Amino acid sequence: MDSVTLVGIDLGKHSFHLHGQNKQGKAVFRKKVSRKQLVEFFATFHACTVVMEACAGAHYMARRLAGFGHEVKLISPQFVRPFVKSNKNDFVDAEAICEAASRPSMRFVTPKTELQQTLSALHRVRESLVRDRTKTTNQIHGFLLEFGISLPKGKAVITRLPAVLEEHSLPPHLVTTLERLHKHYKYLGEQITAIEKEITQQLAADDLGQRLLSIPGVGPITASVLAAEMGDGKQFGCSRDFAASIGLVPRQYSTGGKSNLLGISKRGDKNLRRLLVQCARSYMQRLERQTGRLADWVRGMLTRRHSNVVACALANKLARTAWALATHYATFNPEPTGGPA
């Protein structure tokens, strides 16, 4: 056991499968343990490299094991899959994790802090509530349309639903159902407002979040998500690596020396990518009031490319700018037209 230098863990909800190997890559032990036994095992085990897939519970376990003096690394599951031999089981998965971690060119995921995980959870709850509110709105519109009442688009008409119900003669049971949906709609709106207020308060106390807010088009929600998902940005070698990690670079399909670039790859966090594209579109809608090199670049792009292409290209720029601000502890400072290159 003293020769073990690398331990791969296949994470589970209640049981964990361990595969330990020495520096020559030879298997030394295999264990199946419970959550409590796992913590007790590594608390007394000599310092080594521990590798896990970046999945549910991985970031917490990474922080816990790092506290015992181990070097903990997380790997994206998509990079482990090619190393699974023949039939799949939990011990084979743990061995594949070790094999993947042994590759010198392997990319690892930086474990998140408690604050980052808490902020991410808050954003996921908000997204779920927004989807529920949209679903409730669509239900109200659909039920009324079945009885010949067509309401205009937008949220404003839902807020005055009681007045709409008084204007039309509808079955009592339907009115009761719509009133129940309207009450649920208002509840969801209150919860979303409360969460957004909490996000804004957390952002006000975050130095990185405040610097990210200086980027044109970036609002509190996007800045908060960037701070939670990117952190200090040092896990990425350059700004393009960060943009590539969220799928804002062209997908390549080249062969025979012929380079062929397709649309954006759409990898990584689709929510963060969506928010950055929305920020880009918001900036483009107010382009006539924008000045500086970025605005000139967008105007020049719009003369040559479709607005959808420009929006994705600008989102790429915003992502790279966010990485630069995070790693260099800087604030966005738009240079005026004709400034230094």
For 91-123, what is each residue's pLDDT tens digit? 889 999 999 998 888 888 888 888 888 888 899
Is the domain of 24 the same as that of 90?
A: yes
Q: What is the mean pLDDT of residues 51-61?
A: 90
176-218 per-position pLDDT tens digit: 999 999 999 999 999 999 999 998 888 888 888 888 888 888 8
Same domain, 150 and 197: yes
More confident position, 280 or 267: 280
Q: Which residues contact 114 (CB under 8 A, 6 or more apart)?
A: 63
253 located within any domain: yes
User: What would the DSSP string read from start to end of 155-203?
Assistant: SHHHHTHHHHHHHS---HHHHHHHHHHHHHHHHHHHHHHHHHHHHHHHH
Would you state the structure tokens that stand for residue 162, as one six-digit string?
Answer: 């009681």
Residue 307 lies in a domain: yes
What is the model's pLDDT at position 332? 82
- Kindly state whether residue 31 falls inside one of the protein's structural domains: yes
- Of the two residues 224 and 232, the one the predictor is more confident about is 224
| pLDDT tens-digit readout, 81-94 | 988 887 888 888 99
Predicted confidence (pLDDT) at residue 34 exceeds the cutoff of 80: yes
Query: Is position 340 within any domain?
Result: no
16 and 97 inside one domain: yes
Please give the Cα distance from 312 to 329 (Å, whole number): 25
Which CATH number do you get for residue 54?
Answer: 3.30.420.40
Q: In this structure, are 94 and 131 located in the same domain?
A: no
CA distance 21 to 100: 13
Report the number of secondary-structure helices (H) and strands (E) in the chain: 14, 7
Let me know whether 322 and 225 are in one domain. yes
Residues 137 and 193 in one domain: yes
> Do residues 244 and 272 both lie within one domain?
yes
| Mean pLDDT of the chain, nearest integer | 87
Provide the pLDDT confidence category of residue 265 given band limits of 50, 70 and 90.
confident
Q: How many domains does the chain have?
A: 3
Token match 């095992």: residue?
41
- Treating both helix axes as pointing N-terminal to C-terminal, what angle do 114-146 and 172-204 enclose, rounded to 10 degrees? 160
Q: Is residue 129 part of a domain?
A: yes
Q: Determine the pLDDT at residue 186.
A: 93
Q: How far is CA 144 from the centre of its chain?
A: 37
Percent of the chain with pLDDT over 90: 36
Same domain for 96 and 121: no
Closest CA to 272 of 244, 250, 299: 244
Are 223 and 277 in contact, with CB atoms under 8 Å apart?
no
**Which pLDDT score, from 0 to 100, does residue 340 have?**
40
pLDDT at residue number 193: 94
pLDDT tier, 257 (very low <50, low <70, confident <90, very high otherwise): confident
Q: Is the domain of 60 the same as that of 159?
A: no
pLDDT digits (tens, 9 = 90+) for 153-170: 877 788 888 888 888 888
Q: Classify residue 70 by its DSSP letter.
A: -
Give 267-271's long-range contacts (Cβ < 8 A, gap of 24+).
269/229, 271/123, 271/127, 271/225
The answer to whether position 225 is within a domain reads yes
Is the same domain home to 177 and 227?
A: no
Residue 59 lies inside a defined structural domain of this protein: yes
Q: Does this model's pTM top 0.85?
A: no
Q: Is the dihedral of CA 100, 105, 107, 110 positive or negative?
A: positive
pLDDT, position 338: 47
- Shared domain for 157 and 224, answered yes or no, is no
Q: How far apart are CA 261 and CA 250, in angstroms?
A: 6
Q: Which of 4, 45, 41, 46 is nearest to 25 (CA)?
A: 4
Last residue of a domain, one of 171, 204, 237: 204
Asked if residue 339 is part of any domain, the answer here is: no
The domain in which residue 273 lies consists of 214-328
Do 264 and 323 fall into the same domain?
Answer: yes
Q: Which of 181, 204, 227 is the last residue of a domain?
A: 204
The single-letter DSSP state of residue 14 is S
DSSP 255: B
Residue that finishes a domain, picked among 142, 171, 204: 204
